[in-house]
Amino acid sequence: MNKRYDLIVFDWDGTVMDSTAVIVGSVQSACRDLGLAVPDDEAARHVIGLGLTQALRHAVPDAPESMYEPLAARYRHHFLAQDRAIPLFGGARETIAELHDAGYWLGIATGKNQTGLDRALESTGLKKYFHATRTADRTFSKPDPAMLLELMGELAVSAERTLMIGDTTHDVQMAQNAKVDVIAAGYGAHPPGQLRELNPLALVKDFAELRAWLKANA
């Protein structure tokens, strides 16, 4: 059967790696360390997928500008103390390996910085499957389409032959801004109802459902 897509791009946190709770806790702990207002779980979850400084500005909008750099440092302290123990979602490794072996180009578009993504790819053993990556410290943060546009340019794949998979409204909006089809992962940081409102191509509840959709449609 002919492939519908040549390039499949994954978000990382909340899509491939089950890191939402660790990110939320790290944002909240960083705020406590510096005596800042602590965002509730919903506010901290909403900024997942954005670049770190942008995320902190949204999560803690009333902080003095001078506090964002030390806040980012405290966030990294808390996150890095736990990141090697964060698991992949069930079925993620097998799905990614199957797509790679089936001949798809695979990419990552993430709000992580390059150092953080490299650590995650090494610790999970998934680095060998991905052909290109973009991180928030190397280009514009979501929902700007730059990550996808740059990945498509690097791998010489058109928007019509590219599929994005992500768990946040930022991912869906980035894909739509790049005129790329998008699958919303309803098991991650943003509630399924918020994702559904943006009319993604499909909304899946776990990797088993994603895998079945890809086999049938990609």
What is the average per-residue pLDDT within 118-143? 96
With 0-12 CB in 10 A as exposed, 13-18 as middle and 19+ as buried, what is 216? Answer: exposed
E strands, 44-171, in order: 105-110, 132-135, 162-166
Say how far apart CA 165 and CA 68 lie, in whole Å.
Answer: 30
Q: Which pLDDT belongs to residue 2?
A: 76
What per-residue string of b and e applies to 179-193 under the rule 16 or more CB within 10 Å gives b? Answer: ebbbbbbbbbbbebe
Residue 1 predicted with pLDDT over 90: no
Say how far apart CA 218 and CA 212 lie, in whole Å.
Answer: 10
Instruction: Tell me the sheet residues that pair with 185.
Output: 204
Domains of the chain with bracketed CATH: 7-19+86-217 (3.40.50.1000), 20-84 (1.10.150)
What is the average per-residue pLDDT within 192-204? 98
Q: Is 159 helix (H, G, I), strand (E, B) or coil?
A: helix
**What one-character DSSP code corresponds to residue 48?**
B
Residue 14 predicted with pLDDT over 60: yes
pTM: 0.94
Q: Which pLDDT belongs to residue 83?
A: 86
Side by side, the strands of the sheet bearing 162-166 are 132-135, 105-110, 7-10, 162-166, 181-185, 202-204
Residue 161 predicted with pLDDT over 60: yes
Q: Which pLDDT belongs to residue 179?
A: 98
The mean-pLDDT minimum among 7-11, 14-18, 50-54, 133-137 falls in 50-54
Residue 39 predicted with pLDDT over 80: yes
What is the average per-residue pLDDT within 192-202? 98
Q: Which pLDDT belongs to residue 117?
A: 95
